[in-house]
Amino acid sequence: MTEHQFSLDGEQIAFRDVVRKFAEDKIAPLAAETDRTGEYSWDAFKALQAMELTALSYPAEYGGSGASLVTQAVVAEELARVCASTSLMFLISKLGMLPVINFGSHQLKEKYLPRICSGESQCSYGLSEADAGSDVASMTTRATRDGNDWIINGSKIWITNAGVSDLYTVFARTSDDRHKGISAFLVEASWGVHIDKVEHKLGIKGSPTGVIRFDNLRVPDANRIGEVGEGFAIAMHTLDRSRPTIGAQAVGIAQGAIDYAVAYMKERKTFGATLATRQGLQWMVAEAQMQVEAARTLVYRACAAVDAGDPHGDLSTLGAMAKCFASDVAMQVTTDCVQLLGGYGYTNDFPVERMMRDAKITQIYEGTNQIQRMVIAKKVFG
C-alpha cells in the first residue's frame, strides 16, 4: 500500500475475511462472559496464538510475520468488532515492544521478540503516573545507575495487561532535565514488578488495567532501550505509531454495533413492519456507516504513513486525527445503536451496550482526545 492508497489490496481483503470468520467463530462466543466476569480470557489468547496472530506485528527475522501496520489495523478492527478486550490482547504487546523494535539493541530484540511472537511472553507499556498522565514529562519514577545495572523506584498507573504481562517497558527519570532526563528499560516482571491494584472499569473488562510498583528493582544496562535520556522521544515516537491502531479498534467497535443493529432491525417488527423499513431509522444507520467509513479511511491513511516511514513528517498529526475522529465516531455510533434497539439495547442480553461502554476508553487512552486536538491545532496554527 502506498502512502496515497487507502483501500485494501486483494490479499488484505482475503485475510480480513479469514480473520472475521475466526473472530466470529472463536472470539465472539467468549465476549459476553468475559465482560460479565471481568476476567482475562486465556481461551481467547490461546486462539490468537493458534492463528499466529501473536506473531503478526513483528519483524520476520525475530520470528514474526512482518505484516504492514495497515494489515495489523485490519486485525485490530475485526477483533474489536466482536470483542474489544481481545483486540487489546492483540495490540498491547506491540505497544510494549515498539520501543525495542525501533530503538533496542540487536541482543535485546533477539532475546525477547521471539518470545512475544510465540505467545510465550506478553509485554505492557509503563509510561503514565498518578501525576503524569497527559503530561508524561512530569514523571517521578527514577532509575539510578549502579555499576552495570540500574535501580528503579516508583510506580506507574493505567497499565494494560498488568499482572498478565511478564515484560514491562518502563520509562524512568535518569536526570532532572524535564524531557531529556527520561530513559527507557525493558523489565522482566519476575525481577520485582509489584501489582498494587487492578482497576474496576466501565468497559474493556476482559483486559486488566492496574497500578505497578518498583522498589529498588534492579535492571541490567543491557535492558536499557536506546540511549540514556532518549526516553521521552522514544515514548512519543511509539505513541505516534500505535495511535492509529486505537483508531482501528474504535472503527471495529462501531462496525460491530452497526452490524448487530441492522440484523436486529431486519427482524424486529412494529406496527406490522420491520424497523428496517422505517426511513428515520434507516437514515440513522446510513449516517453511522458514513462516519465509520470516513474513520476507517483516515486510520488506513495514518497506518500507511507509518508503513512508508513517515515521508512527509506528518504522522503525529495524521495519527492524532485518526485516533480522535475514529473514537468520537465509535462513541456516537454505539450510543445510536443502543437507541436503535430501544429498551433491549440497554440490557446486557444484547451486545450493543457493551460496545458503547467499550467505545468510551478509545477516547481516553493513548492520549485523550483533548490532547489529540492540541496536537492537531499545533500543526494547523504552525
Please classify residue 188 by burial: count the beta carbons closer than 10 Å to its beta carbon, then call 0-12 exposed, 13-18 middle and 19+ buried: middle
List the alpha helices (DSSP H) in the chain. Answer: 10-22, 28-37, 42-50, 69-82, 84-103, 106-118, 231-267, 279-307, 315-340, 352-362, 369-381
Q: How far apart are the first and last CA of the chain?
A: 29
Q: What whole-number distance in Å separates Cα of residue 40 and Cα of residue 243? A: 23
Find all residues with CB under 8 Å of 13, minimum gap 6, and list them: none
Amino acid identity of residue 113, one-letter, is L
In order, the DSSP letters of 192-206 are: TEEEEEE---SS-TT
C-beta neighbour count of 230 within 10 angstroms: 19
Length of the chain: 382
| Residue type, position 369, single letter | N
How far is it, in rounded angstroms, from Cα 76 to Cα 87? 5
**Given the residues 77, 129, 230, 366, the one annotated as active site:** 366
- In this structure, is the dihedral angle defined by the CA atoms of residues 45, 325, 233 and 314, taken in order, positive or negative? positive
Whole-number Å distance between alpha carbons of 370 and 160: 21
Does 366 qualify as catalytic in the annotation?
A: yes
Contacts 24+ apart (CB under 8 A), 62-68: 62/109, 62/110, 62/113, 62/114, 62/117, 63/113, 63/114, 63/117, 63/118, 64/113, 64/117, 68/1, 68/303, 68/307
Which three cell numbers, joined as nine digits, stand for 374? 492540541
Q: Annotated catalytic sites, by residue?
A: 366
